[in-house]
Amino acid sequence: MGIRFKLILSFLASFALIGAISLHLLQWRLQAEFAALEQTEVQAALSRSMSVADAIPASLLSVTIDWAVWTDMYHYASRPKQLAAWAADNIDEKTALNVDFSLFEILGPQANIIQSVQTGKDGSGFALDAPVRQALVQRYANDAAAPGCFFQHVNGRPALVCAARITPSHGGGSFVGVLAAARVFSEARLHDLQTKTGFPVRLIGAVDIPSAVQWNTLEPIGHLIGMGRYARHTEPDTNVLFLPLRGFTEQSALSLEMRVPRTIQFQSQSLSRYVLMQTLLTSFATVVLLALVVHSLLVKRLRAFHQQLVGMGSSRVWNRRLTVSGSDEIGALAVEVNGLLDVIETQMKELTLQSLTDPLTDLPNRRAFDMRLALEFSRGRREHQMLALLMIDVDCFKRYNDRYGHPQGDVALRTVAQVLNSVSTRALDLAARMGGEEFALMLPASSAEGAAKIASDILNVLADKAVPHADSTVSNVLTVSIGVALLTEGDASPAALVSRADQALYAAKAGGRNRFVVDRGPEPATLQAQD
């Protein structure tokens, strides 16, 4: 890994780390700021909704007090039977509808119903429970009890009930009863409340408030309906507010649920996404720019460097050299690698030569012979050319070594190699040492007569060398036996041709040695050395 690449990686890592930390801190700060703004939004929504909702009991309580502090009402509650005609004219269903009562009841000192008027669809079948009447009478029998309102389930329907002690207009007087007025919170009234607040609202039982909510102290507003606190439950897109409503016994039976959209949260998420997108785009552009620079300066050139090296390795051709542009570190590296390739080329040539040469005689070895034979065999079969093969073995060579020693035996083998080189003068001919005292001579484009002439020359030239061999069973000088085979259509492989030459060699040895046998096909012909 080059220094430039390390620097780029370090820069990218630092950039990513700084960007991540900065983005995290920014998001943390934005979340804190937007959380405060959202809390302000919740307080404003709560204040607005309570102001709207507080007007409902305020209007009902005002009318209730007006009716309760009415001298004629006081007289009627004192003598209901005598003033029944007055009641029929002044506090009938039509009058109650005009002031938006669903129900009003005049209760006597014993919690008895003096007058009960149900109005409209909301008031149909609507009446206060006996325990509620009894409690109201007990409360307002005390002259100090102030008029008030409470929220209560009445006959299974949520309702706002306001009550006041019936007194003369000038005040004073004995306790003659209580005036209770109620409004049912119908769907129409809730829809009207929702329209005024600007977000969905509904009435639920106090027991229906979820347990996993956050309770908060309520500011001293809306005292006519609230209990001094509210609950907040946060959903992904909505703040759900629960406002427990004042009950008759100061215990909440109903709660106002308000679903306030989290507009601030939406803005926060939108801004966070925008910042994140801008950061990612900036990072992407920076990475792309750096990648292009790195690719141009390093990757492209290193890839060419690598491909050239791979090509040399796969083709085993070591005479080529790297060509890399530039005079920087990569260019200097290419120069050094080319120097190493010079060394490799020289060593490979030496190794190749050593792997194909017999070190004792300097003739090609068995490996080189097999490679050349496969080539000449294929050419002969393909182009219908002649090919002669001579297999040569030194006669009684073990006895020679036993008598004269192995060093002298090596000299004798080199002498045979010299003889083979001297008689095979064509560039096409190949003399090889097959191993031990066995040699081979390949004669491409040679007829049987030409091969026989070469075999005879080998026997005669070696005889002229007169290498002493006192323990030979054939002669007093060193001799060889030769098997000659000619390529025929019946030879299916190079091994078949070699086998036939070996068989001819065995025939020459069996015939008395110091001779050659030519395998022309059906029957080998045996010939001795010519004097």
pLDDT band at 399 (very low <50, low <70, confident <90, very high): very high
Q: Which of 56-70, 269-283, 316-330, 503-517: highest mean pLDDT?
A: 503-517
What are the CA-CA distances from residue 271 to residues 27, 33, 110, 275 (Å)? 9, 12, 66, 6
Determine the pLDDT at residue 186.
80
Considering only CA atoms, which of 320, 321, 326 is closest in space to residue 301? Answer: 326
Tens of pLDDT along 225-245? Answer: 666 788 888 888 888 888 888
H helix or E strand, kind and range, residue 413: helix 406-423
Tens of pLDDT along 195-217? Answer: 888 888 888 888 888 888 888 87
Q: Which residues of 104-120 are buried (b: 16+ CB within 10 A; e: fewer)?
A: bbbbbeebeebbebbbb
Q: Which residues of 453-467 are buried (b: 16+ CB within 10 A; e: fewer)?
A: ebbbbbbeebbeeeb
Determine the pLDDT at residue 522.
52
H helix or E strand, kind and range, residue 488: none
pLDDT band at 457 (very low <50, low <70, confident <90, very high): very high
Tens of pLDDT along 75-87? Answer: 999 999 999 999 8
Determine the pLDDT at residue 1.
55
For the whole prediction, is pTM greater than 0.75?
A: no
CA distance 452 to 518: 7
Q: Given a cut of 50, is residue 523 above it in pLDDT? A: no
Q: Mean per-residue pLDDT for 296-304?
A: 73
Q: Which two tokens stand for residue 361?
A: 């005689």
Tens of pLDDT along 343-372? Answer: 777 776 766 666 788 999 999 999 999 999
Q: Mean per-residue pLDDT for 438-457?
A: 95
Structure-token match 């009447």, residue found? 133
Determine the pLDDT at residue 74.
93
Q: Phi then psi for 233, rounded to 5 degrees?
A: -125, 125
Tens of pLDDT along 55-111? Answer: 888 888 999 999 999 999 999 999 999 999 998 888 888 888 888 888 889 999 999
Determine the pLDDT at residue 371.
92
Beta strand pairing status for 480-486 and 387-394?
Answer: antiparallel
Active site residues: 437
pLDDT above 70: percentage of residues in the chain: 92
Structure-token match 């005002």, residue found? 62
Q: Mean per-residue pLDDT for 386-403?
A: 95
Which residue ranges does the chain devote to CATH 3.30.450.20?
A: 44-287
Considering only CA atoms, which of 193, 80, 102 is closest in space to residue 154? Answer: 102
Determine the pLDDT at residue 221.
47
The mean pLDDT value of the chain amounts to 84
CB 66 within 8 A of CB 104: no
* Least confidently predicted of 60-69, 105-114, 118-127, 270-279: 118-127
Q: Given a cut of 70, is residue 153 above it in pLDDT? A: yes
Q: Mean per-residue pLDDT for 329-352?
A: 75
Considering only CA atoms, which of 109, 108, 106 is closest in space to residue 91? Answer: 106
* CATH architecture of the domain with residue range 366-528: 2-Layer Sandwich (3.30)
H helix or E strand, kind and range, residue 507: helix 494-510
* CATH architecture of the domain with residue range 44-287: 2-Layer Sandwich (3.30)
Written as one string, the DSSP assignment of 7-54 is HHHHHHHHHHHHHHHHHHHHHHHHHHHHHHHHHHHHHHHHHHHHHHHH
Q: Given a cut of 80, is residue 330 above it in pLDDT? A: no
Q: Which residue has the higher pLDDT, 186 or 120?
A: 186
Determine the pLDDT at residue 236.
84
